Amino acid sequence: MTGTREKQSDKAIEQRMQQLADEIEKHNKAYYVDNNPTISDELYDSMFQELVRLEQQYPQYKTLFSPTERVGASVKAEILKVKHVIPMLSIHTETDYTAQGAYDFDERVRRELELKADAAPIEYDCELKFDGLAINIRYEKGILVQAATRGDGYEGEDVTANVRTIKTLPLKVEGFPDVFEVRGEVILHKSEFERINREQKEKGLKLFANPRNAAAGCLRQLDPSITAERNLSFYAYGYGEVSEALAKTQYELLTYLKEKGFPVADTRRLAYGPKELQEFHVLVEKIRDDLPFDIDGVVYKVNSFALQKTLGFVSREPRWACAHKYPPQEVQTIVQDITIQVGRTGKLTPVARLKPVFVGGTTISNASLHNEEFLENMGVKIGDTVVVRRAGDVIPEIVRVIKELRPANARDFVMPDFCPVCGSHAYKEEGEKDRKCTGGLFCQAQRVQSILHFVSRKAMGIDGIGEKLAEQLVTKGLVENISDIYRLKKEQIKGLEKMGDKSSDNLIASIEKSKNTTLERFLYAIGIPDVGESTARTLAQHFKTLKNCQSAGLEQLLEVDDVGESTAEKILHFFAEEKNIKVITELQELGVHWEETEAGREQEQVFAGMTFVLTGTLPRLSRDEASDIIRKAGGKVSGSVSKKTTYVLAGDAAGSKLEKAHALGVKVIDEAELMNMLSKDNETNE
C-alpha cells in the first residue's frame, strides 16, 4: 500500500509540473507575442518560482521543453527571425522585496567565488530594471545594420526598420569596432503612453494595458512610419557579440556607450557589498514615481567582466546578476461587490469592494470606479476577476477586467437615482460625468467628508480627527458645519469612543494650532468644487487676499492659471452662496487667520516670475519643503523641463530632467545655491 501511495503522490507531482509548464507557456504567448497579458506579474512569478522549486526537488520529471529552459516565447510567424550569436538570457529575480534580497544575492556570489568571510566586499554596478522590450542592435563598421527582439533568448524578431525610427539612437557611430552589438531596452515614456492611449480612444481603438505593451506593439508595427509617430525611447545596458573588448567592467562599458551617443540611465552607481546594494534599492524606490518611465525594480551586476566569466551561468540565468524587485503594483483579485460612496461635494462614486490583496506595499480591499462612464467602458461586473494597480500614494484603480475568468453568476451594477445615505434625489447634469446628491448640508455623508477634507494634512492639518470620530461628531450633533470644529470643548469629545484625557487634550491643541494657517490652505480646506491644492495655491498667489478672491468676477478669475470657465463658474457660485460666506465669517471670528500678501509687497519676492523644476534627492530638504520655499518667495514649481524653465534644482540621483536641462541650456543649481539666493535677498531687504 505504501508503494502505491508513493506512486500516486509522484504522479500528482508530475501532473502539477506539467500543468504549471502548460500555463506558463500560454501566458508567455499572451505577454510576449500577443501583447495581451491575462494574469498579473505577481501571479506569473509565483507560478514560475513554484515550477523551478519542483524541478529542483524532482529533476526526474523535468522535460527538455520546460519553460525554465526558455526566456520568453516564440516569435510571431509573420516577422523575419534572427538567431542571436550570443544568447539574450534573462536574469534571476529576487522576489524578496526587503533588504534580505540584496544580502541573498551577495551571499550566493561570494559562495560561488569561494570568498572567505573577511574578504573585501565585491564591487557591483547598480542599474534600473526597465519595464520594456529587450533589444539587440548590431553595428558593423559603426553602421546600424540589424535590430532584433529577445524572443526566446536564442532567436528573436527582426525589427530593424522600426528601431531606426528611434530618434535618440545613433544610426552611425564613429570609432566603433568592426562588430559591436549593443543591448538595451526599448521603452515608452509615461507621457507618450498617455498620448497614444488618448489617440486610440478617439479613434475607437483598443487601449494599451501599460507602457511596456504599448512599446511592444509600436515596435512590432509592420509599417515603420507608424512606429516613427510613437516616440519610442532606448536605453543601453550591455553588449552581445563584439570584435574587440573595450572595457573591463560593466560601469566602464556604460560610460563608453554614453560617450558614443547611446542613451544610458543616469540613475546608476557602484556599490560595495550588500548594504550599499540595498541603499541603492531604497534610493530608487523613493524617486521611482518621478521617473519618466516605468521600472519594476533595480538590477545588480558584478562589475568586473573577469569575475562575471568566472561565475558563469546556471540554466537560463547568469550567476553574476539579479533583478531586485519592488512590491508589485499590479495584482489580480475579485470584485466581491460594488457600492456607492458619497463625497463631500455630493458626488456619487461607485467603489469596487475587492477580495483583499497586497499591492504597492499595502493591503487594499477597495478601488474607485470613478463614475458611470468609467464603469460602462471598463465593463466591470460583480464577481469579475480584475487587475488592480497602485503606485505610491495613488488611489488603487482597476486597470482591466479578465473576462475569460468571468463566472456565470456575475452581476451588472446600475447607478442609483437616489442618494444611498440620505435618500435625496441624485442627478447628473448634461455634459457632466458625475451623479450628485441634492441633499446638501443635511446629507450626513457630505458633512463627514467635508470635515475629513477640512482637517486633512494639506488643508488645515488638524491631527486626531479620523473617519470614526468625524462620524461621531456629526451623529451626536456636535459638528453641523466645519466652523463648529472650533467650538468643540474637551468635555464634549472626552466621552466619545477612544477619546480619553490625553487624546482629547491633543485634539484641542491641534485645533488651536491650526488657526494659524495660509490663504492657499484655507481656500483648499473650505471645499470649493474643482479647487484642489494646486488651484488654491494659484488663486492665493494671484489675488493675495481672501477679499480679492471673493469679489473677483468671471473675467478676473479666468486670468488665473489653472482656472478654466467651468471652475470659475463654480468658484463664483460658491462665494455667491450666503451659507458659505456665513461659515467663512464664523471661521475667522473663531480665530482662523493667515498672513495676507498685499500687492505692494510682490517685488520683495526674489523668485517672482521664475519657474523651477526639482529632480533627485536634496541633502536636507524634502521635495515638499523645497517647493514651499520657492512658492513663498514668489516662484512657480513645474513638473517638466522646458525652454521656459528658469532653474533646475538638482539633488542626488537626478534623473532625465537633469539631462534635458543640460540639452536645453537651463541653469542647474543645488540646494546650497537656492538657499544662498534667498539669503542674499534677505540681506538686500534689511
* Model confidence pLDDT, tens digit, residues 297-342: 999 999 999 999 999 988 678 999 999 988 767 789 999 999 999 8
Mean pLDDT (the chain) is: 85
* Whole-number Å distance between alpha carbons of 374 and 352: 12
Does the pLDDT value for residue 605 go beyond 80? no
Q: Which amino acid appears at position 526 of this protein? A: I
Report in angstroms the alpha-carbon separations of 610 from 34, 81, 219, 651. 48, 53, 40, 19
Q: What is the pLDDT of residue 97?
A: 84
Non-local CB neighbours of 51 within 8 Å, separated by 6+ positions: 17, 20, 21, 24, 66, 67, 68
Q: What is the pLDDT of residue 686?
A: 46
If 0-12 CB within 10 Å is exposed, 13-18 middle and 19+ buried, where does residue 461 land? middle
pLDDT tens per residue across span 20-40? 888 887 887 676 545 577 787
- For residue 134, what are the β-bridge partners? 185
* Whole-number Å distance between alpha carbons of 493 and 470: 11
Domains of the chain in sequence order: 2-69 (1.10.287.610), 92-325 (3.30.470.30), 330-437 (2.40.50.140), 440-594 (1.10.150.20), 605-685 (3.40.50.10190)
As a whole number, mean pLDDT of residues 530-551 equals 89
Q: Among the residues of 552-638, which ranges form H helices?
A: 554-558, 565-576, 578-589, 623-632
Does the pLDDT value for residue 60 go beyond 90? no
State the cell numbers at 354: 475587492
Q: Which amino acid appears at position 512 of this protein? A: E
* Whole-number Å distance between alpha carbons of 436 and 349: 9
Q: What is the pLDDT of residue 65?
A: 65
State the cell numbers at 140: 558593423
State the cell numbers at 554: 468671471
Q: Which of 173, 184, 194 is nearest to 235 (CA)?
A: 184
513 is catalytic: no
pLDDT-based confidence at residue 393 (cuts at 50, 70, 90): very low
* Whole-number Å distance between alpha carbons of 550 and 558: 14
Q: Which of 217, 207, 206, 243 is nearest to 159 (CA)?
A: 217
* Whole-number Å distance between alpha carbons of 273 and 103: 8
Non-local CB neighbours of 299 within 8 Å, separated by 6+ positions: 91, 126, 127, 128, 129, 237, 321, 322, 323, 324
As a whole number, mean pLDDT of residues 413-422 equals 89
Cβ contact 128:284 at 8 Å: yes
Does the pLDDT value for residue 551 go beyond 80? yes
Pick left, alpha or beta for residue 216 (phi over 0 → left; psi -120 to 50 → alpha; otherwise beta).
alpha
pLDDT-based confidence at residue 498 (cuts at 50, 70, 90): confident
Does the pLDDT value for residue 117 go beyond 70? yes
Q: What is the pLDDT of residue 33?
A: 47
State the cell numbers at 121: 566586499
Q: Which of 582, 469, 574, 473 is nearest to 527 (CA)?
A: 574
pLDDT tens per residue across span 307-317? 999 999 886 78
Does the pLDDT value for residue 684 go beyond 50? no
As a whole number, mean pLDDT of residues 508-512 equals 94
Catalytic choice (29, 76, 83, 129): 129
Q: What is the pLDDT of residue 440?
A: 54
The rounded percent of the chain whose pLDDT value lies above 90 is 40
* Whole-number Å distance between alpha carbons of 400 and 40: 11
CA torsion angle 326 327 330 334 (round to 10): 170
Least confident of 51-60, 223-232, 435-444, 476-485: 435-444
Give the residue with greater pLDDT, 529 vs 646: 646
* Whole-number Å distance between alpha carbons of 365 and 378: 19
Q: Which of 650, 646, 563 is nearest to 608 (CA)?
A: 646
Note the pTM of the prediction, 2 decimals.
0.49
Q: Which of 189, 401, 166, 437 is nearest to 294 (CA)?
A: 189
Least confident of 242-251, 359-368, 547-556: 359-368
- What are all long-range contacts of 542-548, with beta carbons under 8 Å and residues at least 24 apart? 544/519, 544/596, 544/597, 544/598, 544/599, 544/602, 545/519, 545/596, 545/597, 545/598, 546/519, 546/522, 546/584, 546/596
The rounded percent of the chain whose pLDDT value lies above 70 is 91
Q: What is the pLDDT of residue 429?
A: 66
Q: What is the pLDDT of residue 243?
A: 93
Does the pLDDT value for residue 71 go beyond 60? no
pLDDT tens per residue across span 133-148? 999 999 999 999 999 9
Q: What is the pLDDT of residue 307?
A: 96
Least confident of 101-110, 154-163, 236-245: 154-163
Q: What is the pLDDT of residue 227?
A: 81
Task: Provide the b/e sequence for 328-352 (b: ≥16 CB within 10 Å).
Answer: bbbbbbbbeebebbbbbbbbbbbeb
As a whole number, mean pLDDT of residues 386-412 equals 83
Q: End-to-end distance of the chain based on CA atoms, in angstroms? A: 96
Give the residue with greater pLDDT, 391 vs 582: 582
* Whole-number Å distance between alpha carbons of 549 and 596: 12
**What DSSP line would sit under 208-261, residue for residue?**
PSSHHHHHHHHHT-SSHHHHHTT--EEEEEEEEEESS---SBHHHHHHHHHHTT
Cβ contact 284:653 at 8 Å: yes
Q: What is the pLDDT of residue 32?
A: 53
Q: Is 92 helix (H, G, I), strand (E, B) or coil?
A: strand
Determine the longest span between alpha carbons in the chain, in angstroms.
96
- For residue 126, what are the β-bridge partners? 269, 300
As a whole number, mean pLDDT of residues 264-291 equals 94
